[in-house]
Amino acid sequence: MNKPIQGHKSNQNMDIKVNTVHFTADKKLVDHINKKVGKLGQFFDRIIGAEVFLRLENVHDDENKIAEVKLLIPGDDLFVKKQSKTFEEAINKAVDSLNRQVTKYKEKLRGWEAKDENSARSEENDE
């Protein structure tokens, strides 16, 4: 059963929801998640929120902590799943990956916006 933890509003008004599966996260872990995921809002202001799911994998491996993070963006969501020895490390890896995804997404948006501007200009010139 998922245990939702109180959402956190960062400086960018990003709502971060942390859910755990079959355990309860301590305050230190939740604060770490809010700090790391909240920083993504500094790089891209269109992020509405984030959903974080933490769970333990039933394997005999040390890397049994799984962090899944979904960034909520209008028109599109970005998702990453990372596995590591600690939840903190898994979150750090997930945020690094999401940072790269956000950068690529922003570049794609700029390309679309440039095409829209060019097509609007050509329509104005045709008139």
- Give the other-Cβ count within 10 Å of 56's Cβ: 13
- pLDDT tier, 9 (very low <50, low <70, confident <90, very high otherwise): very low
Kindly state the average pLDDT of the residues 47-62: 91
What's CA 74's distance to the chain center, in Å? 13
**Residue 109 in tokens:** 């948006």
Q: How far apart are CA 3 and CA 29, in angstroms?
A: 14
Kindly state the average pLDDT of the residues 27-39: 96
Above 70 in pLDDT, residue 30? yes
Domains, the chain? 2-126 (3.30.160.100)
Residue 99: the pLDDT is 96
Global pTM?
0.79
What digits encode the pLDDT tens for the residues 62-116? 889 999 999 999 888 999 999 999 999 999 999 999 999 999 999 988 887 676 6
Lowest mean pLDDT among 14-18, 43-47, 87-91, 100-104: 43-47
Buried b (16+ CB within 10 A) or exposed e, 3-36: eebeebebeeebebbbbbeeeebeeebbebbbeb
